[in-house]
Structure 1
Amino acid sequence: MSDIEKGVSSSSNGAGALQASPPPHSTAVLRPTRIANAGTLGLFSFASTTFILSMYNVQTRGIKTPNVVVGMAIFCGGLTQLLAGMWEFPRGNAFGGTAFSSYGAFWMSYATIFIPNSGILDAYGTDTSELASALGVYLFTWMIVTILFLITSLRKSAAFVALFGCLSVTFMFLACSEISASTTISTHLAKSGGAFGIITAFIAYYVGLSELLASEAKAVTVLPIGAF
């Protein structure tokens, strides 16, 4: 029996989501979707933006100002991921749609903070402690969201567990870096967050490549992601 006949939306490495079954006594007919898997698009966009910002956080080549990532965060990490999320919902993948859309919104909101004309940074004036506390709350909130995705990923694959686990630690270090009273400790925490962010980016690249290879009509080489 084919996946279409079973009402299953196939995806790479068996990580796809089951299409919603029609309610009892319903005349609705499940139809196969012709929308391609947008997982690789979302994962590559997320990985690339995360990698760039994380390289800044570890102060690669002495870079301390992250503003160059703003354009990348708006269009690649933000808009592209949001579109990938919107395409995942019609495929019946609520997890992928929610994750990509959420992190797309994260990147666009993060970029907006650093756009001069947004007035967000100017609103705090010279009170850097209040700004740091506000950014700390912002990052802790996304750590909570990421932990919720981590819990859900426990039913999917080892690769997704590693991805959301490392991302949760990344947010934790960056949030603690913002609220730390010591400049030295804050710098070390930010660098630690950057290091975990780089690891997160490469895991996302790996999973994205696995999705892309598996989506080919004549897929021969498939990278294992440890599907449960």
Structure 2
Amino acid sequence: MKEINELVLRDSSANPGPLGLFAFGTTTVLLNLHNAGFFELNSMILAMGIFYGGTAQVIAGILESKKNNTFGMTAFISYGFFWLTLVGLIVMPKFGWVAATSKPAMAAYLTVWGIFTALLFIGTLRLNRALQFVFATLTILFFLLAAGDATGNETITHIAGYEGLICGASAIYTGTAVLLNDVYGRNFWPVGTVTNNY
């Protein structure tokens, strides 16, 4: 009877980690191409923020909860809604629903996300080196963006953009590694594994 129960309870669903990491990484790269000064803030970035960076990460987080992965659930759902709130902050004033967010208020928003990310970084110390790098660079990114808004210094924002490209690329790398390692059934693409939780 015990063996039958264990068989019924065994999770055979796919790993949602690559989806969440790709959604986060690609959207982060595109936004930070803007922050670095390559193009204006446009509908392409906003659409990615709503549908891939936002919605797809929330879906990935919900699926992580089914796999009993509290860290993955918390991270993906939180950053999914980060993208949705960020798009809301940009779009809602355009419709006249609310006043535009001031620079000091945006700096506070980004600082809170930086603190949250720093706390999650502590959790990655039990996961793998690749995720540690993603969360470390994301923490730095939030604080740089906050500093850029707080000071009004565009140079800081441009530096943040380049740093954000590194962060986004590292998330894409990690998503690729998790996906390919799963496909090949072995450590095909290294992530610097600390434990097997992710």
TM-score (norm 1): 0.78
Q: Which residue of 1 aligns with 2:133?
A: 162
**Aligned equivalents of 1:165, 1:82: Cα separation in 2:** 21
Structure with the bigger RCO (C-alpha within 8 Å, sep 6+) is 2
What amino acid is aligned across from residue 16 of structure 2 in structure 1?
Answer: A
Q: Which residue of 2 aligns with 1:204?
A: 171
Deviation at 1:131, TM superposition (A): 0.3
**Aligned equivalents of 1:133, 1:67: Cα separation in 2:** 25
**Aligned equivalents of 1:40, 1:118: Cα separation in 2:** 37
- Bigger helix fraction: 2
Q: Which residue of 2 aligns with 1:95?
A: 71
Q: Residues 129-140 of structure 1: matches in 2 within 5 Å?
A: 131-140=102-111
Identity between Structure 1 and Structure 2 (%): 32
Deviation at 1:145, TM superposition (A): 0.8
Deviation at 1:118, TM superposition (A): 6.1
Q: Secondary structure at the match of 1:89?
A: helix
Assess, with a 3 A threshold, how the Cα gap between structure 1 residues 161 and 220 changes in structure 2: closer, same or farther. closer
Assess, with a 3 A threshold, how the Cα gap between structure 1 residues 175 and 86 changes in structure 2: closer, same or farther. same
**Aligned equivalents of 2:155, 2:148: Cα separation in 1:** 8
Deviation at 1:71, TM superposition (A): 1.0
Q: Which residue of 2 aligns with 1:40?
A: 18
Q: Of 99, 106, 114, which aligns to 2:90?
A: 114
Deviation at 1:167, TM superposition (A): 0.4
**Aligned equivalents of 1:179, 1:220: Cα separation in 2:** 46
Given that 1:146 and 1:168 are in contact with CA atoms closer than 8 Å, whether structure 2 keeps it comes out as: yes
Structure of greater Rg: 1
Give 5+ residue unaligned stretches, structure 2. Answer: none
Deviation at 1:65, TM superposition (A): 3.1
Q: Which of structure 1's runs of 4+ aligned residues deviate more than 6 A?
A: none
Q: Of 39, 44, 52, which aligns to 2:30?
A: 52
Q: Which residue of 2 aligns with 1:190?
A: 157
Q: How many residues align?
A: 188
Given that 1:53 and 1:66 are in contact with CA atoms closer than 8 Å, whether structure 2 keeps it comes out as: no
Deviation at 1:161, TM superposition (A): 1.1
**Aligned equivalents of 1:41, 1:94: Cα separation in 2:** 16
**Aligned equivalents of 1:221, 1:165: Cα separation in 2:** 23
Q: Which residue of 1 aligns with 2:188?
A: 222
Q: Which residue of 1 aligns with 2:47?
A: 71
